Structure 1
Amino acid sequence: MILVAVVEDEVQEQQKLRSFLADYAAQTGEKFTVSLFSRGADFLDCPESFDLALVDIMLGQENINGIEVAHQWRAKNPDALLIFVTNMLQYALQSYAVDALNYIVKPVEYSLFAQKLGRAVELLHLRRKKKICFTTQSGMECLDGEEIYYIETFGRGLKIHTVNRSIYCTETLKTMEELLQQECFFRCHKAILVNLLHVSSIHKASVTIGGEEVPVSRHRKKEFMDALVNCFGGSVS
C-alpha cells in the first residue's frame, strides 16, 4: 500500500491526478490510498505520513506557494518522495532545492505521468524490500513481510505462520505490529496479527488464511473490513 497526497487547488486537476492514479493501479496491480488537499496548510496540518506527495507549485493567491509547502513538509518527512506538478517550467527548476524526485509540466499527459509515477513506485518498493528481523530462542531470524500469513501469541512469545513453516519468537505482538505497520497487516484479534494480502475468504467471525481459519473479534470486524478494502486499493476507485 502506498499513501499518496495530491496537493492541488483546482478541483478538475485534483480529479485528473486521482483518475491517473486509479488507471495506473488498474494496469499494474499497485495499491494506493489517495488523499486530496486544496490548500497547502491543510496538507501540512494532516497527521498522516505519506509515502509520496504530488504538489502543485502555484497553489493560488490564498495558499502558500507549493515550494514553501514542500520545504516545510520535507523538514518533517525527509525520506518521503515528492513530485511537483506545474504549468510554469521556470518554477520547476526550484524543485531540486527540496530534493524532489521529479516534476511534471501541465497539462499532464497520462503516459508521462505513468512513467514518472512508476519511477517513484519502484524506489518505494526498493526501500521496503528490507527484511523484518526478530529474536528467536536460537538467535535472529529475518523474513520478508509478504512471506508471513499471520502471527499469534503463543506462550510467552509468538508463533509466526509463514508460507513454508512456523517460527517461534520471543518478541511481543505490539513490537511485530510496529515493524509491519507500513505493510498490509491488521490486528484482527487481541492475540492475532494477520497479513491481509493472504486472506482468501471471510466468514461471520473468522477469515481463512493459508488454508487455516483465523478468528476476527466482533468489535474489530468493521475496522478489519475497512483495512481489507484499503489494502486492495478500493480507495482509488
Structure 2
Amino acid sequence: MLNIALVENDSDDVKAFCEIADVFFNQQKIPYEITVFNSAESFLETYNYQYQIIFMDIELDGMNGMDAAHKLREIDSNVILIFLTNLAHYAIAGYEVNALDYILKPLSQTAFSLKMPKVVALVKQQANKNITIVSKGEMHTFSTDKIYFVEILSHRLYYHTMDGVFDTRGTISEIETTLYPYNFRRCNNSYLVNLKYVISIEGNDVKVGPNILPISRPKKKTFINEVTNYLGGQL
C-alpha cells in the first residue's frame, strides 16, 4: 500500500488531484491511499513517518508550504516531497528543502502521469535499507526487509535475521534512529521489532516471525497503536 499525504486547502484542487491520482494508480495496479490535510499545521501535528510521498501546496492559509517543508525536514530528511503550485518560480526554491519535483496547477493527467513513474521507482528504492555490520571479524550486509528484530544484550546488538543472528557493538537508541523510518518499533527496552513481521499480539507477548517477544507494560499501548497504524487498522 502506497500511503500519500496531500496538503491542500483548495477543495477543487483536492478533487482534481484525487481523480488524476486514481486514474494513474489504477492503470499501474498500485494500491494506494490518500490522506488529505487542509493545513500545514494539521499535517505536521500528526506526521509520524507514515507516508511515502507528500504532495504539498505552497500557497496554503496559515503556515505556507515552504515553511512547512522546512519543519518537515527537521523531522524527516528522506520522505519524498513534491510541491503543487501555480507559479514555477516558487517551486524552484524547493531545492532548499530537498523537494524531488513540483507539479504546476491547474493539475493535468498528462503532467502527473509523466512525473509519477520516477517517483514510484524512488519509493521502491527507499522501501528497504541495507545494514552493514562487522560480526566476529566478518562483514555482513543485509536488507532491513530480512530483519525480524534487533536485541540489545550486554552492550551488544543482536540482529535476528532470516539468515541467522549477527552481533556487534552498539546501542539500541542509535539503531532505533536508523531503523525508525523502516517501521521498526520498540516493544520493550531490549527489543526493536520490524512491524512487517508482527503476526499477533496475545496478552503481553508479540509474535514476530517465528519469535515470541515480551511487551513491557509501559510500552504496550504505544506499541499496539504503532502496529495497528502500520496494518491500517486490521489488528
**Global fold match (TM > 0.5):** yes
Amino acid at match of 2:213: V
Quick one: structure 1 residues 217 and 70, their matched pair in 2 at CA, closer, same or farther if it must change by over 3 Å? Answer: closer
Map 1:83-94; keep pairs closer than 5 Å: 83-86=82-85, 88=86, 91-92=87-88, 94=90
Instruction: Give the structure 2 partner of residue 177 of structure 1.
Output: 176
Q: Is the 2:58–2:90 Cα contact (8 Å) retained in structure 1?
A: no
Structure 1, unpaired ranges of 5+: none
Name the residue aligned to 2:39: 38
For residue 181 of structure 1, give the secondary structure of its aligned residue in structure 2: helix
Equivalent of residue 28 in structure 1, options 16, 23, 30: 30
Q: When the two structures are aligned, how many residues end up with a matched partner?
A: 224
- The yes-or-no answer on 1:141 pairing with 2:140 is yes
1:1-237 equivalent positions in 2, closer than 5 A: 5-11=5-11, 13-14=13-14, 20=21, 24=25, 27-29=29-31, 34=35, 36-39=37-40, 42=41, 48=47, 52-59=53-60, 63=62, 66=65, 68-69=66-67, 80-86=79-85, 88=86, 91-92=87-88, 94-99=90-95, 100=99, 101-107=101-107, 109=109, 113=112, 116-127=115-126, 129-234=128-233
Per-residue deviation at 1:75?
A: 8.1
Specify whether residues 48 and 69 from structure 1 end up closer, same or farther in structure 2 by C-alpha distance, changes over 3 A only. same
> What do residues 127-169 of structure 1 show as CA deviations (whole Å, max 9, x unaligned)?
5654222343415432211110112223441322111211122
Q: Structure 1 residues 194 and 44 mapped into 2: Cα distance closer, same or farther (>3 Å)?
A: closer
Distance verdict in 2 for CA 1:165–1:210, change over 3 Å: same
**What is the rounded CA distance, in whole Å, between the counterparts of 2:90 and 2:168 in structure 1?**
49
Measure the CA separation in 2 of the matches of 1:74 and 1:210.
33
Once the two structures are superposed, residues 7-61 of structure 1 have per-residue CA deviations (whole angstroms, 9 ceiling, x without a partner) of 312246447757858x959x5356x79572425xx379769586643122443xx
Structure 1 residue 84, shift from structure 2 partner: 2.7
Q: Is the 8 A contact 1:157 1:171 kept in 2?
A: yes
| Separation in 1, partners of 2:218, 2:69 | 41
Corresponding residue SS for 1:126: helix
Contact 1:5 1:52 in 2 (8 A): yes
Contact 1:18 1:34 in 2 (8 A): no
The residue type paired with residue 10 of structure 2 is E
TM-score (norm 1): 0.70
- Letter matched to residue 105 of structure 1: K
Provide the C-alpha distance between the structure 1 equivalents of 2:143 and 2:115, rounded to a whole number of angstroms: 27
CA contact (8 A) 1:149 1:163 kept: yes
User: 2:180 aligns to what SS in structure 1?
Assistant: coil
Query: Relative to 1, partners in 2 of residues 1:139 and 1:98: Cα closer, same or farther, differing over 3 Å?
Result: same
With over 3 angstroms needed to count, the CA separation of the structure-2 counterparts of 1:45 and 1:187, relative to structure 1, is closer
Percent same amino acid among aligned pairs?
A: 25
Task: Call closer, same or farther: CA 1:43–1:11 in 2, change over 3 Å.
Answer: same
- Please tell me whether the aligned partners of residues 188 and 215 of structure 2 are also in contact (alpha carbons under 8 angstroms): yes
**Which one is further off, 93-102 or 194-203?**
93-102
Unaligned runs of 5+ in 2: none
Counterpart residue identity of residue 201, structure 2: I
Looking at structure 1, the residues matched to 227 and 12 of structure 2 have their Cα atoms a distance apart, in angstroms, of 29
Measured after TM superposition, the shift of residue 2 of structure 1 is 7.6
